[in-house]
Amino acid sequence: MTREISLFVNDGPIALDYFIQGYIDRTLGGILAALEGTEEIKTLDVTIEGDKVAINLNNALIPINPFVSKIIKSTIAGMVSPLKGVGEIAKIKIDIKR
């Protein structure tokens, strides 16, 4: 599968190796599979800023409640925080194109 994954933390790009790209892609795919009304990823934009989580799947905003938002934010922050070049996190943006 051809995929393009970009990660930005605090608006700065973070370099991703093959393993991390696959890890992020599969983790977000699993999160979306657990949500009602989602479909296969063609394009995915996830933005986390403060307590707000926005998920745009195939050009459609996916509604999520505060509990789900908190779980998604914690999961993604946990994946991203140990990566080289990531310090304190104020904003995370992940873009996936398949």
pLDDT tens, residue by residue, 26-74: 999 999 999 988 999 999 999 999 999 999 999 999 999 999 999 999 9
Instruction: Please give the biggest Cα pair distance in the chain.
Output: 35
Q: What is the pLDDT of residue 7?
A: 98
Domains contained in the chain, number: 1
Spatial distance between the Cα atoms of 65 and 89, rounded to a whole number of angstroms: 22
Tell me 15's DSSP state.
-
Q: Which CA distances in Å does 90 have to 3, 30, 52, 61?
A: 26, 24, 11, 22
Residue 15 lies in domain: 4-97
Question: Rounded distance, CA 61 to CA 81, Å?
Answer: 25
* Residue indicated by tokens 């890890």: 23
Percent of the chain with pLDDT over 70: 99
Quote the mean pLDDT of the chain: 96
Q: What pTM did the predictor assign?
A: 0.93
